[in-house]
Amino acid sequence: MRIQIHRGTHQIGGSVTEITSDDTRVFIDFGSELPGADGVVKPETLSVPGVTEGEPRCDAVFFTHTHGDHIGQLDRIHPSIPLYMGATARELCLCLNRYLADKGIDRAAALAALERANTFTPAHPITVGSIRVTPFLIDHSAFDAYMFLIEADGKRVLHTGDFRGHGFRGKALIPMLEKYVGQVDWLVCEGTMLSRSAEQVKTEHELQRDERDLMKQYKRVFVLCSSMNIDRIAGFAHAVPDGRAIICDDFQRKVLDVVQTRHGQVPLYDFSRVKSYDRTDAVLNRQMMDDGFLCFIRANHFGEKMLDYYGDDAVIAYSMWDGYLSEELENKKLTALLKSRNWVKLHTSGHATPDTIKAVCETVRPRCGVIPMHSECPEAFKELFPGKNVILLKDGELLEL
């Protein structure tokens, strides 16, 4: 068994990992690089023979989750190569790409890839040639995210993807690894937070309490967050007092419909109180004026208009990464929306803290070593795991496992 991280050994995002046996070649994720200022993405330069160019020589690509830095390049994968992802993740991606297509953005190739993609079931292995891949559902800021246990040639490799322990389902992480994974030979682990030590990490439960307190102070609360951060939306929605409206735009409601249809039996994902805003609904508008509301917005036309009309005496809960507001990576649409308005930060990371990374490593006890990725400072893994064999690969470097 061999591993080659084509991109992601010394950066966050753009993740592409290849794992091969003598007769089988699979990939974990095929992501875009993170956008820079104003959401601009660099022109894609990564080409992988047999996957994006030339005759196809790849048996499958598995996706850990729906964030663009892990799935954003799926439309460049040769159409004969099988794709695998979580069932709800696939539906959410289809919803998003159909929305973008309706806005006039060319998403034909991405939609075609998603339409033909296979789905998997948590903890049910998929055998591709001589490689067996088992997906395990984990907590992340993207809904329906997975770790993968990859087995071949007598070796066991756990690829974590992006994960955390402080979300609503985070407590299940270590028991799941103990019960279904056990000891592995190699741990391929994300380390996003190792370069963000100053970032405050709260639990989703703590954020939900903060949102509840905010609604005691303000009748009108806007939440500026990603349309795909389902757990954040669920936590905040369930913090809203009875009698207050919960509002979003039509696209957000379609996203929530996908989740509620598939997971509505879980109380957290019952979004029946969340309504699409209708300016012609006199009863709704009167309720919003008299009793207050929680409104999910993004930096788009809907968000601007709702703030213009209902923004007096309101507060915005900014629930996205701080980096978008920094000088280096400023997203001007976000900063323009917040400018001269009353706002507070209510956010937490979608990534594992150092303590959670250590807990995962101590649970799976990798016999051969740890391979960092998805980190701007992979060297920190050596400090995190003194005495362990930490292999610092370079992009494109091949390692015999």
pLDDT in tens, 282-292: 999 999 999 99
pLDDT at 330: 81
pLDDT at 320: 94
Q: Looking at domain 2-196+350-400, which of 3.40.1160.10, 3.10.50.40, 3.30.420.40, 3.60.15.10 is its CATH number?
A: 3.60.15.10
Nearest of 174, 229, 184, 185 to residue 207 by alpha carbon: 229
Q: Where in the chain is the domain with CATH 3.60.15.10?
A: 2-196+350-400
CA 22 to mean position of chain CA atoms = 32
* Residue 258 in tokens: 């996908």
pLDDT at 39: 56
Please state which architecture CATH assigns to domain 204-345. Answer: 3-Layer(aba) Sandwich (3.40)
pLDDT at 40: 62
Task: Pick left, alpha or beta for residue 30 (phi over 0 → left; psi -120 to 50 → alpha; otherwise beta).
Answer: beta
pLDDT at 323: 82
Q: Where in the chain is the domain with CATH 3.40.50.10710?
A: 204-345
Mean pLDDT of the chain: 95
**Sign of the torsion formed by the C-alpha atoms of 199, 203, 207 and 209:** negative
pLDDT at 43: 77
- Report the distance separating Cα 67 and Cα 72, nearest Å: 7
pLDDT at 10: 96
Ranges of residues in the chain whose predicted pLDDT is under 50: 37
What is the maximum span of the chain, computed from C-alpha positions, in angstroms? 68
pLDDT at 398: 97
- Cβ neighbourhood burial of 304 (10 Å; 0-12, 13-18, 19+): middle
pLDDT at 113: 98
